[in-house]
Amino acid sequence: MATVRILGLAALLVVSSAQAQQHDHAAMMAAAPSSCKEATLACADKVTPFFAADSSLWVAWSANGRVAVQHSKDQGHTFDAPMFVNPQAEKLDAGADSRPQIVVDGAGKIVVAYTLAVGADFAGKVMIARSSADRKDFDPPKPLTKNTASQRFVAFALDPSGEVFATWIDKRNLVAAAMAKQKYEGAALAFAWSNAEKDFAVTRIAQDNTCECCRIGVAFAGPHKPVVMWRNMYPGGVRDHAVMTFGDSKPGPVYRVAVDDWKIDACPHQGPSLSVGAGGTYHASWFTDGRARQGLFYARSTDGGRSFSTPMAVGDNTRQPTRPFVLANGGSVWMAWKEFDGEESVVNIMQSRDDGVTWSKPKVHARTTDASDHPLLTAKNADVYLSWATLKEGYRLMTVGNTP
Amino acid sequence: MRFLAFILALWIAAPAAAADMQPFVRGTWQQILKDNAGKPVVLHFWGLTCAPCLAELPRWAELRKARPDMKVIMIAADTPASDTADLLKTLQKAGLAGVESWSFADAFSERLRFEIDPRWRGEMPRTILIASDGKPTVMVGLADLPAIRAWYDVAKK
């Protein structure tokens, strides 16, 4: 059953002004902004940062079908030449929440993941590439798994032990159910580990019936204890968020983050963000348009995800708040998100000095008047940075604060 | 000359009948509303990155076949924009070749969505029904096609 509602006043105004205005359509099309056609960091639509153990910055980016890695020793002011990861321009997963992943693992190798769109139904295919030991070039990319069912929204996280944890949305059980003529809602949450010996060799399903079109939030509650937050599917087609803490690398119980009651037979294209503080508090942020609440929200859990605080509304709902990102670092928790007023996109940032109980007033940290990537937060020791790729300004790594 | 006039008449009568993908840019939404002012129109937003959308496409083809009187416009809203050839191929496979079709052609998707509905954060599929008086009704998620038919029956009177 679809949700029907009448648009608000703003949309009605759009309609009436449309009838009044006499736009020349050809002129409009000519005025469309010129797009960036090069395979360069400046033209990247997605950029993912990673600070290595030596405090230098690595970024993985995608631009016009190419995936590349670049290194900076001065916090993103200058970069070495790009190392291309895929052999030529390819059809990458165009999902808004899809982005290349990068970590430098415990053995000092750069590990990159990216997702291709393959076949007539544009299924996802996750590719993995590793650098040489000296990090000067990359081995040819290989599929994450031999399984040919769709894999999308892969997320990497570096375990404190130096192993790489990967989790993604996988359709193998959907395909199996379809072959057995059984009903299967959504897709599944899959995971695998990698170190010098095992190269994501064993891929497993942690949870069936997840939403199939949103990014996944990953953090660590301790060595071999990844915590994963994703948009789950609850009975009746409700796409609310869930959290799972792996125990000794094995899937743990599933807890619901909040009862938003977002019943929707659709792709929200908006996944959550998760961070775990040094004291073990889970910090969660997400978007919903549910019956219980609508907009961006933050909640915290001090009991390993069993229960979360009452969701706190974030951002100005008249300005399309989207793409929340939460990061606990040192004695602070930071939260960034995007807002748009019809002309300009801004990244708002707020800070909590008491483990997410109270928050500062949001402050605009960056602006742009054209297309932009999701805002991401990253940290090098006590220094917290905003990582943001924008079409007009290119890639920027901006200092947000210092949280010793 | 008479042949040329005939072609011209066809073109004027059905400017968007060609199996083509038109670029949806800033201002296009208002242009579409203006072009269809005074008559009910069904606008459907879909994308290749949206599995439920792809699964639903054949049902839209059935609706169009059953109700050729209904004005349906398909708008692909993938961001970044999907390949035009892929979109057209997908529409054709679903039985929707020839439907008036647009594709988001500006990477600044926030602005395109804001012009359509400031509340829209990119969820798909999504359908907007515009009545003759310009009054919009939004259907989020898989469309209730019988409800759309019923709406159209009332709206076109």
Domain CATH code at residue B65: 3.40.30.10
Contact between A340 and B110 under an 8 Å Cβ cutoff? The reply is: yes
Q: Does A120 contact B at CB distance below 8 Å? A: yes
CB-nearest partner of B141 from A3, A270, A372: A3
Cis ω before A253 (30° cut-off from 0): no
Q: Which of A122, A337, A388 best tests the B interface by mutation, with the highest count of B CBs <10 A?
A: A122
- Please enumerate in sequence order all residues whose Cβ is within 8 A of that of B3, keeping only pairs 6 or more positions apart, or say none: none
In a domain, B9, yes or no: no
Q: Cβ separation of A10 and B50 shorter than 8 Å? A: no
Is B10 inside a domain boundary?
Answer: no
Please give, rounded to a whole number of angstroms, the shortest distance from the CA of B50 to a CA of chain A. 6
pLDDT at position A196, please? 67
Whether residue B11 is contained in a domain is answered as: no
Residue A312 to residue A357: CA distance in whole angstroms: 10
Interface confidence (ipTM) of the complex = 0.84
**pLDDT of the residue at A127:** 98
CA pair distance A297, A312, nearest whole angstrom? 5
The answer to whether A25 contacts B30, with C-beta atoms less than 8 Å apart, is no
Most A-contacting residue of B22, B30, B43, B128 (CB-CB within 10 A), to test interface: B30
Terminal CA-to-CA distance of chain A, rounded, Å? 51
B61/A245 Cα distance (integer angstroms): 44
Does B124 reside within a domain? yes
CB contacts, 8 Å: B81 with chain A: 94
Looking at residue A311, what is its pLDDT?
Answer: 98
| Yes or no, beta carbons of A5 and B137 under 8 Å apart | yes
Provide the domain count of chain B. 1
Residue B55 lies in a domain: yes
Cβ pair B134:A15 closer than 8 A:
yes
Residue A4: what pLDDT? Answer: 42
Question: Is residue B77 situated within a structural domain?
Answer: yes
* DSSP character at residue A179: H
State the nearest Cα–Cα gap between A248 and chain B, in angstroms.
34
Render pLDDT for A225-261 as a digit per residue (tens, 0 to 9).
999 999 999 999 999 999 999 998 899 999 999 999 9
Tokens of A371: 């297309």
Q: How sure is the predictor about A33, in pLDDT bands with cuts at 50, 70 and 90?
A: very low
**Chain A environment of B155 (Cβ under 8 Å):** none
Q: Is B51 on the interface with A (CB under 8 A)?
A: yes
pTM recorded for the entire structure: 0.89
- C-beta neighbour count of A254 within 10 angstroms: 17
Q: Give, in degrees to the nearest 5, the angle at Cα A213 between A101 and B93.
A: 115
Q: What is the DSSP letter of A318?
A: G
- The pLDDT tens digits of the residues spanning A289-335 come to 999 999 999 999 999 999 999 999 999 999 999 999 999 999 899 99
Rg (CA), chain B: 15
Mean pLDDT, rounded, of chain A: 91
Domain that holds residue B147: 16-155
Find chain A residues with C-beta within 8 A of B130's C-beta.
Answer: 15
Sequence-ordered list of residues with C-beta below 8 angstroms from that of B43, at least 6 positions apart, any chain: B32, B72, B73, B75, B127, B128, B129, B130
Cβ contacts of B41 within 8 Å, gap of 6 or more = B32, B71, B72, B73, B129, B130
Position of tokens 């019936």?
A: A209
Give the minimum alpha-carbon distance from B122 to chain A in angstroms, rounded to a whole number. 6
- Residue B4 within a domain: no
- Which residue, A237, A227, A345, is CA-closest to A277? A227
Q: What percent of chain A has pLDDT over 70?
A: 91
Q: Say which range, A47-56, A98-107, A205-214, B9-18, has the weakest mean pLDDT.
A: B9-18
Instruction: Determine, for residues A320 and B136 on separate chains, whether the beta-carbon distance falls below 8 Å.
Output: no
Check pLDDT > 60 for residue A164.
yes
3-class DSSP state of A176: helix
Tell me how far CA of residue A264 lies from CA of A211, A228, A235, A367, B124, in angstroms.
10, 22, 11, 32, 10
Q: Rounded to whole angstroms, how far apart are CA atoms A163 and A156?
A: 10
Concatenated DSSP letters of A250-317:
B---EEES-----B-SSB-----EEEE-TT--EEEEEEEE-SS-EEEEEEEESSTTSS-PPPEEES-G
> What is the tens place of the pLDDT at every residue in B13-63?
344 444 589 999 999 999 999 999 999 999 999 999 999 999 999 999 999
